[in-house]
């Protein structure tokens, strides 16, 4: 990514008035491939703003390239590190290098370096058929890993990932139910999906004014490519071809200010369609209060259009999660 | 409470999930007592994310920061 592009982003960030920092998430492919010197130069663009509390950094990495020097850099710039790992070696076997060799051991080496340097990290796992059927092993693994937070993505057919296991709703529900039971018995680490649900439950129980249900949540989530091209709503849209949606192109920061690109978002065809899809969710789905309208990229990749409602992501990550937790909570014996 | 099935409806039931949670208020209260560190009073996800260290067991983590991860087996 060119420094010129980063300077444009810096101008945008500097103009924002927020009571908390804007998070810059360095991801897509493997960000550490950039090399340590180059990465440092990119972070330096924002250093003044970081020291003012206006920005913080996050990196999502497979950890295979982490060295003690990277750890020093993460500490110096207070980078929040997220590691992509799917569980013990058999569950992580789909993560391979360009030569097709499994990278589990190298991921664990990277994690050990983070721990040695006392750098807290979170983990994101893609759950496939093996993990789905070995819940306790998976839970024990992440409990022992040393991460403070674990995010779970049920494997999905999206973009290039079309040749995947067929996961039945029954097995996904069994997975969430077993995992929730294990977690409430030993809630040592934060599990992102459970936390999101519990936050929703707390909010719903604490606030009887439901007017917030009528507000469609909009996080533009601008994703900026190396050349300054911007896509909105889902980072998965970066580099995706679509005649219907003009390749999801929202503008280029070298030509138009990022603030203007975001302000113009409501006029983009794919944003208009997404809003319509979310309103359809609101009028047809009993899980809307919890889900708030689903993921834009899943609507597109699974249904072919953003003017759509339910996806497999909705089913696996929202509806079955909801039903599993509620079924466990229903079984709790109150005094 | 009537059991619900997974899937969309044709009626406007956008707050159905909320109603179901509220119907289980007593059970959620019990859950909150079981999970004092996981369910605190009304944190938004962003607040929780920014304060994650309050919920993280540093003591356990620092006691066992290492392991033979390459040959990891289930404890």
Cβ–Cβ of A88/B72 closer than 8 Å? Answer: yes
Query: Which of A136, A141, A326 is opposite residue B72, by nearest beta carbon?
Result: A141
Residue of A nearest to B64 (CA): A146
Cβ–Cβ of A330/B24 closer than 8 Å? Answer: yes
List the single range of A9-18, A130-139, B9-18 with lowest mean pLDDT: B9-18
Provide the ipTM: 0.82
Q: Which of the residues B9, B18, B41, B70 would you substitute to probe the A interface, choosing the one with the greatest number of A C-beta atoms within 10 Å?
A: B18
Q: How confident is the model at residue B11 (pLDDT cuts 50, 70, 90)?
A: low
Cβ–Cβ of A320/B6 closer than 8 Å? Answer: yes
Dihedral of the alpha carbons of A115, A117, A122, A123, in degrees to the nearest 10: -50
DSSP 8-state symbol, A11? H
Residue B16 predicted with pLDDT over 50: yes
pLDDT number for residue A301: 92
> What separation in angstroms does the CA of B13 have from each of A182, A200, A330, B17?
31, 17, 21, 8
Q: Which of the residues A286, A287, A299, A327 would you substitute to probe the B interface, choosing the one with the greatest number of B C-beta atoms within 10 Å?
A: A286
Give the integer Cα–Cα distance in Å for A158 and A198. Answer: 28
Separation of first and last alpha carbons in chain B? 40
More confident residue, A76 or A19: A76
Q: Which positions ≥6 away from A108 have C-beta within 8 Å?
A: B69, B70, B72
- Least Cα distance to A56 among A76, A83, A77 occurs for A77
Query: Which of B7, B25, B56 is opposite residue A205, by nearest beta carbon?
Result: B25
pLDDT number for residue B61: 42
Q: How confident is the model at residue B48 (pLDDT cuts 50, 70, 90)?
A: very low
Please give the full DSSP string across A62-105, using - where no structure is assigned.
-STT--HHHHHHHHHTTPEEEEE--SSTTTTTT-B-TTS-B-HH
List the single range of A119-123, A162-166, A198-202, A304-308 with lowest mean pLDDT: A162-166
Q: What is the pLDDT of residues A125-161, one digit of tens each?
A: 999 889 999 999 999 999 889 898 899 999 876 554 5
> The whole model's pTM is what?
0.84
Q: What is the mean pLDDT of chain A?
A: 90
Q: Which of the residues A109, A205, A312, A319 would you substitute to probe the B interface, choosing the one with the greatest number of B C-beta atoms within 10 Å?
A: A205
- Least Cα distance to A63 among A26, A87, A32 occurs for A32
Q: How confident is the model at residue B59 (pLDDT cuts 50, 70, 90)?
A: low
Report the pLDDT averaged over residues A285-308: 91
Q: Which residues of A touch B15 (CB under 8 A)?
A: 210, 213, 288-289
Burial A281-307 (b: 16+ CB within 10 A, else e): bbebbbbbbbbbbbbbbbbbbbeebbb
Q: What is the mean pLDDT of chain B?
A: 56
Report the pLDDT averaged over residues A26-40: 92
């Amino acid at each position: 990514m060119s420094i010129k592009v980063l300077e444009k982003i810096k101008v945008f960030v500097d103009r924002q008035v927020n009571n908390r920092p804007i998070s810059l998430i360095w991801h897509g492919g493997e960000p550490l491939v950039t090399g340590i010197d180059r990465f440092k130069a990119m972070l330096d663009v924002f250093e003044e703003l970081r020291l003012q509390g206006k920005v913080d950094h996050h990196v999502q990495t497979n950890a295979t390239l982490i060295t003690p020097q990277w750890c020093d850099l993460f500490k110096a710039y207070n980078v929040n590190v997220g590691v992509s790992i799917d569980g013990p070696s058999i569950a992580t076997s789909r993560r391979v290098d360009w030569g097709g060799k499994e990278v589990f051991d190298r991921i664990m080496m990277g994690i050990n370096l983070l721990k040695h340097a006392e750098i807290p990290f979170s983990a994101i796992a893609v759950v496939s058929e093996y993990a789905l059927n070995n819940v306790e092993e998976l839970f024990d693994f992440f409990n022992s890993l040393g991460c403070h937070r674990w995010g779970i993505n049920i494997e999905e057919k999206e973009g290039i990932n079309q040749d995947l296991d067929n996961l039945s709703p029954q097995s996904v529900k069994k997975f969430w139910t077993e995992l929730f039971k294990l977690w409430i018995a030993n809630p040592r680490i934060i599990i992102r999906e459970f936390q999101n649900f519990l936050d929703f439950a707390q909010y719903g129980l604490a606030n009887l004014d439901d007017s917030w249900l009528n507000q469609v949540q909009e996080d533009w989530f601008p994703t900026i490519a190396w050349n300054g091209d911007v896509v909105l709503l889902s980072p998965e849209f970066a580099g995706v071809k679509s005649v219907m949606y003009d390749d999801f192109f929202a503008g280029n920061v070298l030509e138009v200010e990022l603030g203007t690109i975001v302000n113009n978002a409501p006029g983009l065809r794919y944003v208009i369609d997404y809003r319509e899809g979310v309103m359809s969710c609101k009028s047809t789905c009993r899980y809307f209060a919890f889900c708030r309208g689903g993921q834009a990229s899943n609507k597109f990749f699974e249904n072919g259009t953003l003017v759509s409602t339910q996806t497999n992501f909705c089913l696996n990550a929202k509806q079955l999660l909801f039903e599993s937790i509620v079924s466990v909570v229903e079984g709790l014996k109150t005094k | 409470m009537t059991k619900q099935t997974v899937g969309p409806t044709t009626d406007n039931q956008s707050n159905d999930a909320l109603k179901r949670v509220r119907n289980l208020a007593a059970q959620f209260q019990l859950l909150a007592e079981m999970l004092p560190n996981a369910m605190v009073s009304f944190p938004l996800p962003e607040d929780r994310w920014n304060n994650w260290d309050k919920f993280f067991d540093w003591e356990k983590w620092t006691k066992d920061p290492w392991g033979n991860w390459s040959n990891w087996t289930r404890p």
